[in-house]
Structure 1
Amino acid sequence: MSVADLLFSDAAVEVERLTLAQDEVLVAARARGDGAVCPECGRRSSRVHCYYDRRLSDRPIAGRRLQIRLRARRFTCENTACSHRTFAEQIPELTCRYARRTEALTGLLTDIALFLGGRPGARLADRMSMAVGKDSMLRLIRALPEPDHGSVQVLGVDEFALRRRRKYAAILIGMVTHRPVDVLADRTAATFESWLRRHPEVQMICRDRAGSFRDGACAGAPQAKQVADIWHVLHNLAEAVERIVGRHRAELREPLPMSADATPAGETSATEVDIHGRPRPLVARTHERYQQIHERIQRGDSLRAIARELRLSRGTVVRFAEAAEVGELLSAATDRPSMIDDYRLYLHHRWLEGCTNASALTREIQQLGYRGGPGTVQRHLRAYRTGAIPTNAPLPQLTVRRVTNWIMRRPEHLTDTERKSLDDLCDRSPVLAITTEYARRLAVILRERNNEHLAFEVWLADVRLDGQRELRTLAGGMRRDRAAILTALTTTHSSGAVEGNVTRIKLLKRQMYGRANFDLLRRRILLSP
């Protein structure tokens, strides 16, 4: 039996001739059968009006394109009341009206388009001996009907960027099926509210702590319970802790024994002066701005007026106004992370031992993992060469991010060295000690989910009394979101499925190079497997 006979074994088609060319297979076939059904009136007719040729592309065979030349028939409708005088027969699973591809090839190209998009899908199809343009691939996607997900009682919602920091959309997920339900063109509360009003069956909404989704859910589905995702609450807590640790980064330094040539306590720090002993421009500017802003605050000027007068952003004015002393701002400006941080203690001891050659010290720390050049080492040793030997040096492991990680991790997961370093830091800094206590108390409440409603309320009250301003700001937002957080403590629902779909959306966006319209991206999100 020939390849063509295997391919067209249906009784409705008879293969007449098979021709093998260099890069394609040509099949001549004709339709057979007693008649066809009129698509308008549904009456069967066997009266042939005429014959005509149709050229169809089908799935390739052995790496060669398959072209079918089908001799089709046009029938006369024998129903005198029918508006169709004649009609063309359609062969099931092979032809449809106006199509130049078989249904099998159309389905295959549609799957490729959904997986890869327009131009990448067209390139793959061409390598598979299926000639098709990128615009045709996109038309196949747009021709698909939208899926019907039925009733959605548990809904997940999150935002994703169409253009980062400029334009955002929202993805809605059925939390039972973990499949996208709809994609909204923006992330505003009004759009989300309108969608919820059209779907009154929603009984529970899983979301992050974005205010727009909270307000939209309250207005559009007052009957639904809102569940704040625990991971996002912990992430907000970690961000607050990191800001506190960053504000007190100067306390991450462990005092070292003072040498005979060391700078006495109370004098200007070596990090605040240049090689000539003059204040660094950034330090001098910070002192000047701090004095200007606080003088105007005492005079009664508003923050907006101060920002306008000094030509600063309002965020900068707020940061200077909230700083209790200029040292908080200088620590952030002068103690920025550097690739040499992990080797400062080693360089300090080597200098005291008498090794003052920057090139030799660079080679030594490169063997320890340093990836920089000698220039950074030379700049670091300038203060030593002027006689201003620092009285302290940072421990290699005490960076802002690392200390935040120690505070947020479960205590039993810390090594003995990490636990001892954190305890020593808390002994030196009462602020970081109380921050560690509050962060761990809330982390236990959120991770255990033992319906700790009273413990959560006590934590909010304690932070309001003596917590740092970052924790007080966090607690204020959590009070506004109290109901959703308390619901999260008594349910197993989370936004994990939503975050997974957002990750998949990022892949789809990269495949489309950011040039597709929103309607095409929406269809790929809803229809992609």
Structure 2
Amino acid sequence: MFCCRIVGVRVEHVGLTDAELRLAVRSRAVSVECPGCGQGSSRVHCYYQRILADRPVAGRRVRLELRARRLVCRNEGCVRRTFAEQIPALTRRYARRTDVLTAQLTDVALFLDGRAGTRLSGRLAVTTRKDTLLRLIRALPLPPPAAVPVLGVDEFAVRRGRTYATILIDMSSHRPVDVLPDRAAGTFASWLRNHPEVRTVCRDREGSFRDGAQAGAPQAQQEADSWHLLHNLAEAVERVLGRHRAEPRERLASHDDQEEDGRPQKEPGRTELDVHGRPRPLVARTRDRYQQIHERIARGDSLRAIARDLQLSRGTVNRFANAADAEELLGAATHRPTLVDDYRFYLHQRWTEGCINASALTREIQQLGYCGDVNTVRRHLEPYRNGTIPTTAPLPHMTVRRVTDWIMRRPECLTDTERKCLDELSDRSTALATTVQYARRLALLVRERRNEHPALDVRIADVRLDGRQELRTLANGTGRDHAAVQAALATTCTSGPVDGDVTRIKLLKRQMYGRASFDLLRRRILLSA
């Protein structure tokens, strides 16, 4: 028999098996305070047995068989006649686990949630259920509210495309302070009214957050994030290029495949006609579908009805409805890139050096990162074998995303080939040349954080005057958010910590298989940070 002084009990018997350690214990206290009046009592009313689970030892479950006492309160004025003895740091009313095991399971629940936490607990020789772990999370108290002078705000998807919530971050400690059930301006404004200490709001370009901050905290300075400014600019540039998506391929075709008489030849499989001179099925179907959808729109039919009748998704109908003509859609449908596009320059160079074996060339470009097979390389080399060899080396395949990257990158970071492609593309299209010019000017202001009111106003006015529609839309939004954009150019505050918490929230959602209620998700966000 020995004493366990940490928890104030005495061990009377030890039983050990391969899976379990069983301890028979009893309290060492002589007198126990009554929970009703606080007066001590040593008069025992009766004994009863309690079974408690404790943290495992050496891979074995630990079972405490406690001989508990019920005592009589000696204070005649106390509302309690008898009371059950509770051992500090070991037992609670109705509990079947010790406090240390409950704390361990609570940590497991916070960081792994129910199902994964149950599996891990089983590996640790602790038997529990997912519902028990979820109850432990809900039983935890939320952190007390604190003063937040600099607030970061962003949205995240509870159910992508349908339900969104808002995360609020203390930018000084990078810890979440609250989670709002939606992204409405009124909800955000109501929260700010209850926190008048907020002096700065770091946010993205979302209009609801701008309106909510203006209504709930007019004294706070709003600061837009520089990364979001560049991201919005890149999206506008990509939409401009999307309207002219055929132009990069046209320029590429005129440069790559030159016959001896100088006539441009398109690559096999990238024309709108098949080998018999008939329109390809995809081309014909796209033109017919475009005509049907716009005829229905002209009659006043809703997009939902059109999608239902034509058995198309809403996204497809929206894409056809927003297209200026069928050629805009065919640019992506008939000029699709292949895996070998990035290695055309290398293949052309090796062919001119005398290496004409497709298998050998495939092995060489696979070492450079090519992940396709030899058949794709053979199809690419068919014009070479037929005598149609380009007189000049092919330039990189220019997709909309790649050209956008060239425009948004610093000019000094471009290679000679990329700079040549972009210059030729600008020479062929005045609209794209204007887009390149304005995009680089606006990006320079953001990157170098030039806090110059006239410079920013001039750039916005120039874009509004002769910029493309997508850039004018961006300029109008920047004008409405002028103060926040100007603050972004004057400070170094970013929304990086907020975006990091949004990424963490995605992990928490996936751990709960996307089925968690908002209350449970909110608790895990606030308590597991």
Calculate the TM-score normalised by the size of structure 1: 0.84
> What's the offset of the Cα at 1:113?
1.1
Q: Please point out which of 60, 69, 74 is paired with 1:64.
A: 60
Q: Please point out which of 144, 155, 170 is paired with 2:151.
A: 155
After TM superposition, the structure 1 stretch with the greater mean CA deviation from structure 2, 311-320 or 501-510, is 311-320
Matches within 5 A, 1:175-254: 175-252=171-248, 253-254=251-252
Deviations 1:44-63 (A, max 9, x none): 22322222222211112222
Change (3 A) 1:511 1:11: closer
Look up the match of 2:318: 315
Look up the match of 2:136: 140
Q: Distance in 2 between matches of 1:351 and 1:72?
A: 89
Q: Distance in 2 between matches of 1:248 and 1:46?
A: 90
- Is this contact kept in 2: 1:173–1:181, CA < 8 A? yes
Change (3 A) 1:404 1:88: same
Q: Distance in 1 between matches of 2:442 and 2:7?
A: 72
1:49 aligned partner, one-letter code: H
- Is this contact kept in 2: 1:262–1:388, CA < 8 A? no
Look up the match of 2:415: 415
Residue 443 in structure 1 maps to residue 448 in structure 2: no
Deviations 1:36-78 (A, max 9, x none): 2121222222322222222211112222111112222222122
Q: Distance in 2 between matches of 1:27 and 1:329?
A: 75
Look up the match of 1:399: 399
Q: Distance in 2 between matches of 1:292 and 1:128?
A: 63
Matches within 5 A, 1:269-308: 271-284=271-284
- Is this contact kept in 1: 2:337–2:397, CA < 8 A? no
Unpaired runs of 5+ residues, structure 1, are: none
Q: Distance in 2 between matches of 1:412 and 1:351?
A: 31
Deviations 1:433-462 (A, max 9, x none): 322221111112112223122211111100
Q: Distance in 1 between matches of 2:390 and 2:384?
A: 8
> What's the offset of the Cα at 1:464?
0.7
Deviations 1:254-280 (A, max 9, x none): 434742577589xxx971221112233
Look up the match of 2:97: 101
Look up the SS of the partner of 1:194 in the other structure.
helix
- Is this contact kept in 1: 2:270–2:334, CA < 8 A? no
- Is this contact kept in 2: 1:18–1:28, CA < 8 A? yes
Q: Distance in 2 between matches of 1:124 and 1:85?
A: 44
- Is this contact kept in 2: 1:117–1:138, CA < 8 A? yes
Residue 127 in structure 1 maps to residue 130 in structure 2: no
- Is this contact kept in 2: 1:180–1:525, CA < 8 A? yes
> What's the offset of the Cα at 1:248?
3.0
Q: Please point out which of 152, 163, 166 is paired with 1:167.
A: 163
1:207 aligned partner, one-letter code: R
Q: Distance in 2 between matches of 1:353 and 1:496?
A: 50
> What's the offset of the Cα at 1:23?
1.7
Identity across matched positions, percent: 61
Deviations 1:365-388 (A, max 9, x none): 564345445765687789999999
- Is this contact kept in 2: 1:342–1:397, CA < 8 A? yes
1:332 aligned partner, one-letter code: A
Q: Please point out which of 341, 365, 368 is paired with 1:368.
A: 365
Look up the match of 2:460: 460
Q: Distance in 2 between matches of 1:330 and 1:351?
A: 32
> What's the offset of the Cα at 1:25?
1.5
Look up the match of 1:29: 25
Deviations 1:77-104 (A, max 9, x none): 2222221111112111111111111111
Q: Distance in 2 between matches of 1:327 and 1:394?
A: 25
- Is this contact kept in 1: 2:341–2:397, CA < 8 A? no
> What's the offset of the Cα at 1:346?
7.5
> What's the offset of the Cα at 1:196?
2.5
Unpaired runs of 5+ residues, structure 2, are: none
- Is this contact kept in 1: 2:45–2:71, CA < 8 A? yes
After TM superposition, the structure 1 stretch with the greater mean CA deviation from structure 2, 85-94 or 371-380, is 371-380
Q: Please point out which of 41, 52, 70 is paired with 2:48.
A: 52
Q: Distance in 1 between matches of 2:6 and 2:13?
A: 16
- Is this contact kept in 2: 1:306–1:317, CA < 8 A? no
Look up the SS of the partner of 1:42 in the other structure.
coil
After TM superposition, the structure 1 stretch with the greater mean CA deviation from structure 2, 510-519 or 226-235, is 510-519
> What's the offset of the Cα at 1:32?
2.4
Look up the match of 1:476: 476
Deviations 1:394-453 (A, max 9, x none): 622533222221221222333344334433443444333322221111112112223122
2:365 aligned partner, one-letter code: L
Matches within 5 A, 1:512-523: 512-523=512-523
Look up the SS of the partner of 1:271 in the other structure.
coil
Q: Distance in 1 between matches of 2:126 and 2:354?
A: 74
Look up the SS of the partner of 2:165 in the other structure.
strand
Deviations 1:490-518 (A, max 9, x none): 22222111100111111112222223222
1:490 aligned partner, one-letter code: A
Give me the CA root mean square deviation. 3.7
